[in-house]
Amino acid sequence: MKQLVVEDLSAHHQLVGDFFKWPRNAAEWEQYRLSGEQVAHFNEYGFVSGIKLLEEWQVDRLNEELAEITDPAHPGNPLFYQFASNESADINTVLFHALGAWRITKGFHDILWNPAFVMAASQLLGNKAVRFWHDQLFCKPARHGGVVAWHQDYSYWTRTAPLQHLTCWVGLDDATTENGCLYYVPYSQHWGLLDKPELAGDMEGVLDYLTPEQKAGFKPVPIELKKGYAAFHHPLLVHGSYENRSERSRRAFVLNVFAEGTLSNSDNELLPNTPGIPKGHKMEGQFYPLLFDPAAAVE
């Protein structure tokens, strides 16, 4: 039987499906702007949450695509940068984690060019142009979903510099304290770069790296979100999520971006099985598309 070939959608740096309509002028972009209060909250606490990015029909379609591509036998599987049916360090729990879904299905490709996402990302990066870094899928099944240990995203990203990155977490299920929602540690973006723990290992491992003052300020808050809603956070904000012991799954995707002008900080491979970018050279090309330029949006 002939193997089905899946097109690598990373070759397309624009919308390819019917998920979104790209705004045509400045007036059409206005509806997607965050409020001044939302931006101020991000700048003070290191995060902002409760931002609607998707309608229910879009969430449903993404979950259909997700169900297909979590199968290791899916013909698009070789396009993932990383794929772990279970990344949990605890054999009794499961954390599905994968990078690269944007290359495989139209829905996970087009969420990069969601107008509400790119406008918010630009504002939170200081009204700069936004370039894509990589995506992630995090799925915790009901009853035995694993943890994501306390960590800072940039501790895994020092191969790119300067630090002008941003993370967006979007629920594909309602996320609650019962099924393993995200937790943030407000103000921890000011703690500097900490050593990186094993992502799905010891939940509390990062505490070994904290000073007494940081431990005193370690006061996580739960980020409960309805499906289709997002939370954005600073690349140094400490965050994590606990096990899912509930009867409901907790599926989510993450979009990681950086401001235009970010450079490679390594001569090694930046994402698995992709061409390297020499240290000191600009992050760009097929795998790091420019998503949004606010200057172009006002023309």
Selection from 30, 95, 102, 39 nearest residue 66 by Cα = 102
Domain annotation covers residue 10: no
Furthest-apart CA atoms within the chain: distance in Å:
62
CA-closest candidate to residue 231, choices 38, 36, 60, 22: 38
What tens digit of pLDDT does each residue of 109-158 get? 999 999 999 999 999 999 999 999 999 999 999 999 999 999 999 999 99
User: What's the pLDDT score for residue 92?
Assistant: 85
Cβ neighbours for 65, distance < 8 A, ≥ 6 positions apart: 101, 105, 106, 107, 108
- In the chain, what is the straight-line distance between the N-terminal and C-terminal CA atoms, in Å? 52
Residue 25 lies in a domain: no
Q: Rounded to whole angstroms, how far apart are CA atoms 3 and 6?
A: 9
* Contact by Cβ (8 Å): 122, 168: no
Residue 198 included in any domain: yes
Residue 45 lies in a domain: yes
Q: What is the domain extent for residue 224?
A: 32-297
Q: How far apart are CA 255 and CA 9, in angstroms?
A: 16
| Mean pLDDT in residue range 209-237 | 97
Number of domains in the chain: 1
Judging by beta carbons within 10 Å of its beta carbon (0-12, 13-18, 19+), is residue 100 exposed, middle or buried? Answer: buried
- Please report whether residue 11 resides in a domain: no
Q: What is the Cα–Cα distance from 150 to 109, expressed in whole angstroms? A: 28
Look at residue 299 and tell me whether its pLDDT is greater than 70: no
User: Quick check: is 13 in a domain?
Assistant: no
In this structure, the dihedral spanned by the alpha carbons of residues 136, 132, 171 and 241, taken in order and rounded to 10 degrees, is 50
Q: For residue 3, is pLDDT > 60?
A: no
Distance CA 121, CA 282 (A): 20
- Contact status, residue 185 vs residue 47, Cβ threshold 8 Å: no
In a domain, 272, yes or no: yes
- What is the pLDDT confidence band of residue 298, given thresholds at 50, 70 and 90? low
pLDDT in the model for residue 207: 87
How confident is residue 1, by pLDDT bands cut at 50, 70 and 90? very low
Is residue 179 domain-resident? yes
Look up the CATH number of the domain holding residue 128. 2.60.120.620
Give the helix ranges, DSSP H, for the chain. 26-29, 36-45, 56-69, 106-110, 115-124, 212-216, 294-297
